[in-house]
Amino acid sequence: MKLLKETLEAIKPVDEEAKKKAKERMDNLTKPIGSLGILEEIAIKMAGITGKVHNKMEKRSTVVMCADNGVVEEGVSACPQWFTKILTENLTKGYTGVSVLSEFTNSDVTTVDIGVNTDIDNPKVLNKKVAYGTKNMAKGPSMTREEAIKAIEVGIEVADKLYSEGYDILGTGEMGIGNTTTSAAVLSVFSGLSPDISCGKGSGLTDEQYEEKKNTVKKAIEINKPDKNDPLDVISKVGGFDIAGMCGCFLSAAKNRKPIVIDGFISSAAALCAVRFNPLVKDYLFPSHLSKEPGAMYMMEEIDLKPMLNLEMRLGEGSGCPLAFQVIDSALYIMDNLATFEQSTLDRDKLIDIR
């Protein structure tokens, strides 16, 4: 609990003065004011985080938290549970979507076993196992409160270490069969939305299985009665080790005054938990894309953030993060390189601000 407590206490607001200076420069670049939309917002937000108008995000990694979910025994995923272990190992071999996109975008993947239900003997997988999978949340809490704290602290430790090694920006991803079910439960608890709305078909379900998935989430919430005002209670009762670990990464980013990227539905569930721990965390988060999982839109609304892309992706793994790194690079490059009105010998006063 010490690390979590210290981390939460160390989170401070972003640098508003730097944001103001960044906005002034952005509005003085040769373009109609606000015309580069979210790219402008990204560059200004980054200034608030780093305290500098000009920024470069050269060293980047997507941290993939891998864990099994006991709720899989309710038949909430079409995929067998053992897929988790194989897919976790595949992350280190370059066989997954996030691996390929990371290679393409010159970024790393950090694979963490935070709770896969079998041992993984692979030096490229960080062994941070809290337990061999969670319990079935449809029958009782996913994990103990102590395990939830431990898993969040694993996430804080992993991200703290990466930032201290010189990573400029991190992304968050996951691997764990059944984790769209836990994420839907987290969303329903915090938002009050019915599981009929928060649940999607995840990696694929028949209509009949989909109905069962909704019933399972309803049952999990009914049995456990998570307290929406206590994120630790929500994570331990209806969350997963992957969600807890990613939540820890978000908290670490805010503590270290570093940027961090949200991927899809599951990563957003973890971001929502982090924001509920401390609302200041939001200013350190960059949502990459709007997942096609239907609950993703509500997740974004709940966190109150706007994703930068909509590519109708629904893969998870952190696959949106390497793409977001490219968009962020573009935004920062604009800030550095677009000519000012003065350089362009144009008169800014002739423009009308329609934002």
Ligand X SMILES: Cc1cc2ncn([C@H]3O[C@H](COP(=O)(O)O)[C@@H](O)[C@H]3O)c2cc1C
Cβ-based neighbour number of residue 66 at 10 Å? 30
Which amino acid is it at 150?
A: K
| C-beta of 55 vs 84, nearer to ligand NIO | 84
Between 15 and 302, CB nearer to ligand NIO: 302
Measure the CA–CA gap between 202 and 319, rounded to whole angstroms.
Answer: 15
Q: Count the Cβ atoms, other than its own, within 10 Å of residue 331.
A: 25
Q: Residue 309 phi/psi, 5° resolution? A: -135, 155
Phi then psi dihedrals of residue 260, to 5 deg: -150, 145
Pick one of ligand NIO, ligand X, none as the site partner of residue 87 (Cβ within 5 to 8 A by kind).
Answer: ligand X
Binds ligand X (CB under 6 A): choice among 18, 39, 137, 177: 177
Is the CB of 15 or the CB of 263 nearer to ligand NIO?
A: 263
Q: Nearest residue to ligand NIO, using CB?
A: 264
Q: How far is the CB of 268 from ligand NIO (least distance, A)?
A: 8
Q: Which of the ranges 28-36, 54-62, 109-117, 315-323 carries the binding residues for ligand X, by CB under 6 A?
A: 315-323
| Contact residue for ligand X among 136, 181, 188, 252 (CB under 6 A) | 181
Decide whether 129 or 314 has the Cβ nearer to ligand NIO: 314
Q: How near is the Cβ of 132 to ligand NIO at its closest, in Å?
A: 22
Q: Which is nearer to ligand X, 102 or 180 (CB)?
A: 180
Answer positive or negative: Cα dihedral of 154, 157, 163, 165. Answer: negative
Strand locations in 73-214, DSSP E? 108-115, 125-127, 169-175
Q: Choose among ligand NIO, ligand X, none what residue 178 binds, the Cβ cut-off being 5 to 8 Å by kind.
A: ligand X
Angle CA(7)–CA(235)–CA(49) in degrees, nearest 5? Answer: 35
| Residues with catalytic function | 317
Are the beta carbons of 137 and 280 closer than 8 angstroms? no
Q: How far is CA 76 from the centre of its chain?
A: 22
* Rounded distance between C-alpha atoms, residue 286 and residue 305, angstroms: 8
In whole angstroms, the minimum distance from the beta carbon of 216 to ligand X comes to 11
Does 122 bind ligand X (CB under 6 A)? Our answer is no
Q: What's the min distance (Å) between Cβ of 50 and ligand NIO? A: 28
* Residue 79 main-chain phi, psi, to 5 deg: -90, 140
- Amino acid identity, position 328: I
Binding of ligand X at residue 154 (CB under 6 A)? no
Identify whether the C-beta of residue 26 lies closer than 8 Å to the C-beta of residue 267.
Answer: no
Backbone angles phi, psi at 84, to 5 degrees: -55, -50
Instruction: Work out what residue 302 binds among ligand NIO, ligand X, none; the CB cut-off runs from 5 to 8 Å by kind.
Output: none
Binding site for ligand NIO (CB under 6 A): 180, 202-203, 263-266, 291, 293, 296, 314-316
CA torsion 132-134-135-138 (nearest 10°) is -150
Amino acid at 49: I
| 62 forms part of the interface with ligand X (CB under 6 A) | no
Judged by CB under 6 A, the number of residues near ligand X is: 17
202 near ligand X (CB under 6 A): yes
- Dihedral, 194, 195, 197, 199 alpha carbons, nearest 10: 170
Pick the closer one to ligand X by CB: 312 or 353: 312
Determine, following the binding rule CB under 6 A, whether residue 195 of this chain makes contact with ligand X. Answer: no
The Cα–Cα gap between 322 and 94 comes to 14
Instruction: Find the part of the chain contacting ligand X (CB under 6 A) among 2-10, 77-85, 110-118, 161-169.
Output: 77-85
Cβ 281 to ligand X, closest distance in Å? 23
Q: Which listed range, 11-19, 20-28, 168-176, 249-257, lies at the site for ligand X (CB under 6 A)?
A: 168-176
* Interacting residue ranges for ligand X, rule: CB under 6 A: 77, 79, 83, 87, 174-181, 202-203, 315-317
